[in-house]
Structure 1
């Protein structure tokens, strides 16, 4: 039987509000040992922020991380999947859009998790060296690499 996203996703993803400063978001990432946070407002997904976003979109442009908010540099319309979507469909979407992570939202827009490339590698090929690295890595694969589809 085909596996569903909710079976492999990371539930309760790390989130921040859109008015959180980049400095605080970076501390959240450091403390959780991850490379991204999901941006929420009222329990609804509003964006995704990666460590690379902070560096490329803020620090490289001389923005003050203590003053700049997440809203100013995050990806505000991330590609998402539903919890009942098939794992194969999520993999195809990630491949087609060159994504490393997908927030998981319900039909009414509530954020319920995130599925990462690492989660899917472990699911598809649990015996591979890449799966072993993803399973042992920080944040269970939820964090390293480019943001939700945008490299700059």
Structure 2
């Protein structure tokens, strides 16, 4: 049976504007229990930022997180997929580009994110990665 990205993606992604401060984005991630958000200017996808990106590309550089915008911390050289593409294509892209998350874009608009955790849960929910993906985060 053919599976599609739309079958396992996390829909309705959280997006922030490129001008959002690193602090504001970190709070959104904390409050919504997210590891990544999409950076969009209106409906146009500009990048993806992870909690790790915030630490490595902003905090570790010594910038003031209240004054530093997320535009400088996000990955803007992204690979994307459409929701109607086969899931195997998303897996190939993740392997080829060594990424854990791929934004899902339909008609130029971000509509979701497919992650390594989503794939683990779909392919082998009993695997260690599957277990980790559904575990509640540490308080």
Moved more, 120-129 or 91-100: 120-129
Indicate whether 1:68 and 2:68 are aligned.
yes
Indicate whether 1:17 and 2:17 are aligned.
yes
Q: CA deviation at 1:126?
A: 2.7
Mapped to 2, the partners of 1:127 and 1:18 lie a distance apart of: 38
Indicate whether 1:89 and 2:89 are aligned.
yes
Summarize the Cα distance change of 1:133–1:56 in structure 2 as closer, same or farther, 3 Å threshold: closer
Could you list the runs of 5+ residues in structure 1 that have no partner in the other structure? Answer: 139-152
* Paired positions, count: 137
**Structure 1 segments of 4+ aligned residues over 3 angstroms from their partners:** none
| SS of structure 2 residue aligned to 1:39 | strand
Q: CA deviation at 1:137?
A: 4.5
Moved more, 95-104 or 125-134: 125-134
Normalised to the residue count of structure 1, the TM-score between the two structures is 0.84
Q: CA deviation at 1:97?
A: 1.2
